[in-house]
Structure 1
Amino acid sequence: MSPIASYRRLLQLAGPTYVLVAFIGRLPLAMSQLGTLLLVATASGSYGLGGLSAGALAVANAVGAPVAGTLADRVGQRHVVLIQSLLGAAGLAALVAVVHADGADALVVLTAAATGLALPQVGPLARVRWRPLTRTTGAQQRRLVDAAFSYEGAADEASFAIGPALVGLSVAAFSPSGALLLAAVLLAVFGSAFALDPSARLAHSDVHVEASGRLFGAAFVVLVVAQVTIGSLFGATQTGATVLATDLGSPGLAGFVHATLGVGSALAGLATAYVPERVSHERRALVAAWALLVFSLPLLLVTTLLSTTATVLVLGLAVAPYMIAVFSLAERVVPPSRIGAAMTMLASATGLGYAVGSSLAGRLADASGATAAFGVTVGATVVAVLLMTSQQRRLRAASEPASGPVSLPTARTRTLQPLP
């Protein structure tokens, strides 16, 4: 089956409405961090408070996402995501209200953290639904699931380029408050629609299958670390681009420079479906890690925004293939009854890596400028190469049992397993 035929088949199985809802439903999360930063910083006149509030939202979301994923595995995505969508939308609106009411700094930060705790991770949970959606396709299922993960990787990258762009447009047209209120409306409407889609019930019926093994096997820990490295790359690259743009007198262009990382990544994510099935996912991750290293090295030499933008665009071509391979491996190495927790935990690892990368790059940039910040980007890719080079055998052994066509028990044979 060709990649185009695979994507067409996935669209037929899920329906265009679901694909649209699942994509728009992930935009509020992509909008929330930058929207919070701009809202709080503009109202308070303090970028420190704005950054602290945005960071609190991001960290709380990283902590809460695996908990929500575990609950979704236990009771189903429908109830969990619906409650998260409504609470998250209310939280975004409450944050706007608290800021405009000149609430105390501590109250602003706590409100941002509570909001982050509630925001759903639609992208990772959407990945969980593709295996049951394709369960009737027989021998084609493995190829279709791989194509679905390629699409999801591209969709995630596109959302994190479009989300900040929507914030920028909303701020220009209305205000920072308008940006967060737009995110709240999108979450209430499309997050709820994602929760109530029939695929949520289908996914719940298929994750409760008899499964052995624990979530925190050695192979899965490797994949978590892999996502920490890519998150560090994101944070360090954005910090380096911001420092360079500010030094050159164009701080407003920093977001555009970083957005090109998502553009290149989204394009490469869709193209990943063209990789032959015989190329294993652990091998794809290794090749992508080396590409990240090679493509990041020019960042140590850039001195203009044009050269930085071009370099970041090319770097993005290796990002999605790396992440798609990691998420695809996770789908194979964890028990089916824990896949929701696994997907959300990988997303959380990315967020925590972002915090580590941006913090370290910021400290180094204060002392030595943008090049030092980009050095953290390169360092993250070195760790990715070492990790994937040393763990090929472990990842191959862990994923081999599920390397053939996926076979799922019927509803009559499924049993609910307790969490380890």
Structure 2
Amino acid sequence: MPTPAAPAQKGGRYSVLPRLAGTSYIPLGLFARVPLAMLTIGVLTMVTQVSGSYAIGGFAAGCIGIGAAVGSPVVGYLADRLGQKRILLVAAVVNALLVAAVVILAYTVLPTDGAQITDGGTLAVFAAALISGATSPQVGPLSRVRWMALSKKLPANQRGPAVDTALSLEGTADEITFVLGPALVGLLASLVAPWLPLALAAIMTVVLVTLFALHHTVESVGPRTAASSTVGNAGYVAKEKPNWLLVAVPVAGMLAMGTFFGSAQTSLTAFTGVHGSVDQAGLMYAIMGSSSAVTALSVAYWSTKFTYAWRWVLMATLMAGGAFLFLVPQSLGQMVWVLLLMGLPVGPVMVSIFSVGSMVAPQQWMGTVMTALSSGIVAGTALGSALSGSLAQNQGYSAAFLVPIMAATALVVLGLLSVMVLRKRQQAQHSNT
């Protein structure tokens, strides 16, 4: 097992992480979540292409999100109760088979001439997408749980900064997968065929999620245990007794974040369909993820006086203001610049919401809460995809872009709510001491 980092760390804040988990863990944790990042936009692209309908493509992608929203907390609960290894091994195989089923059904039973949402073949594709989303392995949330557990090896004064750094890295990994996933979908769908990205995702799930499940770090989070919820810059420690009202605030934040993602993906699909080809949507969306990944990585170096909740508020405000720029471009080239700017606040918002979630998560339910946060993203993605898909089909892409604007605005409101509830919580803790 890797030994804890020494108090004097060379190589910056991130150097402690390979010493805690081993050098192979970070790249494995990154690539093992790429298939999930490919799934929603891969289904969106394939079903839209096969059916010729933005609405059906959006609803199919939405089914992935709805399934994941329901299934993710179940996966987290089972991982808390039975251990991550056995749950991830089962999920890897089952999910890969179901993704393959979505591809087969799309090309065999989905109507391609005037397809309707109520057609039997269309409903069969929706059902397969729903179940595949529900069985998706939750690599990102469960990796966060492992980091929190591994931080216990460090001296008490180093645990907070280590968790801060790990959460920033995890946020960056999420953003990188938002780049790699859509980019792979866009390249493979446009150069070869729309089914290929999903076939590749199924293969990657079996191989990489299995390796992640078997990695030695899984021993740090045995059954019925979870990681320490102590985090750095706000000094909160989650109580053993859960306060699900507190947990609901970051979950709602992730719901709004997912709505932004899903609606942006679907709106961009409609935009590229007008100004280029729907196959280019993944590549366009990856541009936003690239700038988001850079700023997410920088969060570990932000001042500790800049608390998580206020980071959430400020970055969400920038998101809300910048989202109006989606209405401006009239070409792919113009949209590239908008996406680069829009990505800058997205990464820090995600890192901040996960950090707030780790502050309020009950210790014994850390895996469940982390997957609930992740399910908020995918549920929001489902909602955003469905809303924007309908608007794009009936009123055009400009109307569809109103959905990410509203989602970003909701993030600001929820960020302010997190400031208030955490302040009251801190005051209550001080009054009890």
Using the size of structure 2 for normalisation, the TM-score is: 0.84
- 1:151 pairs, out of 169, 172, 182, with 169
- 1:73 pairs, out of 59, 80, 87, with 80
Cα deviations across residues 209-263 of structure 1 (Å, max 9, x unaligned)? 89622251x2211111111221222223233333333333444433332221111
CA–CA distance in 2 between the matches of 1:287 and 1:153?
17
1:185 aligns with 2:203: yes
- 8 Å Cα contact 1:3-1:274 kept in structure 2: no
- 8 Å Cα contact 1:241-1:308 kept in structure 2: no
- 2:226 pairs, out of 195, 207, 225, with 207
- 1:372 pairs, out of 388, 399, 407, with 399
CA–CA distance in 1 between the matches of 2:190 and 2:327?
33
In structure 2, the partner of 1:115 is 132
In structure 2, the partner of 1:30 is 37
CA–CA distance in 2 between the matches of 1:243 and 1:44?
14
* SS state at 2:89 partner: helix
Shift of 1:50: 4.6
- 1:194 pairs, out of 212, 233, 239, with 212
1:254 aligns with 2:261: no
1:287 aligns with 2:319: no
Shift of 1:55: 2.8
Q: How much identity, in percent, do the aligned residues show?
A: 34
Shift of 1:31: 1.5
CA–CA distance in 1 between the matches of 2:389 and 2:107?
30
- 8 Å Cα contact 2:227-2:366 kept in structure 1: no
In structure 2, the partner of 1:322 is 349
- 8 Å Cα contact 1:26-1:159 kept in structure 2: yes
- 8 Å Cα contact 2:91-2:136 kept in structure 1: yes
- 1:264 pairs, out of 285, 288, 291, with 291
In structure 2, the partner of 1:349 is 376
Shift of 1:370: 3.3
- 1:140 pairs, out of 158, 169, 175, with 158
Change (3 A) 1:87 1:35: same
Change (3 A) 1:357 1:183: closer
What does 1:405-420 align with in structure 2 at a 5 Å threshold? none
CA–CA distance in 1 between the matches of 2:59 and 2:315?
33
CA–CA distance in 1 between the matches of 2:105 and 2:182?
22
Change (3 A) 1:351 1:11: same
* SS state at 1:213 partner: coil
CA–CA distance in 1 between the matches of 2:293 and 2:429?
27
Shift of 1:390: 3.9
- 1:83 pairs, out of 84, 90, 101, with 90
- 1:126 pairs, out of 143, 156, 180, with 143
CA–CA distance in 2 between the matches of 1:201 and 1:98?
39
- 8 Å Cα contact 1:261-1:313 kept in structure 2: yes
- 1:233 pairs, out of 227, 247, 260, with 260
Match for 1:18: what amino acid? Y
CA–CA distance in 1 between the matches of 2:395 and 2:47?
28
* SS state at 2:306 partner: coil
Q: Which one is further off, 64-73 or 86-95?
A: 86-95
CA–CA distance in 1 between the matches of 2:82 and 2:340?
41
* SS state at 1:264 partner: helix
Cα deviations across residues 136-173 of structure 1 (Å, max 9, x unaligned)? 22111111111111111111111122112223333356
Match for 1:135: what amino acid? K
Cα deviations across residues 69-91 of structure 1 (Å, max 9, x unaligned)? 11111111111111101111222
CA–CA distance in 2 between the matches of 1:64 and 1:94?
18
* SS state at 2:222 partner: helix
* SS state at 2:329 partner: coil
- 8 Å Cα contact 1:227-1:350 kept in structure 2: yes
- 8 Å Cα contact 1:85-1:187 kept in structure 2: yes
Change (3 A) 1:276 1:48: closer
Change (3 A) 1:400 1:318: farther
CA–CA distance in 1 between the matches of 2:294 and 2:90?
33
Shift of 1:350: 1.3
- 8 Å Cα contact 1:131-1:145 kept in structure 2: yes
Cα deviations across residues 267-297 of structure 1 (Å, max 9, x unaligned)? 1110111102222111211111222123223
Change (3 A) 1:241 1:40: closer
* SS state at 1:238 partner: helix
- 8 Å Cα contact 1:238-1:254 kept in structure 2: yes
Match for 1:235: what amino acid? G
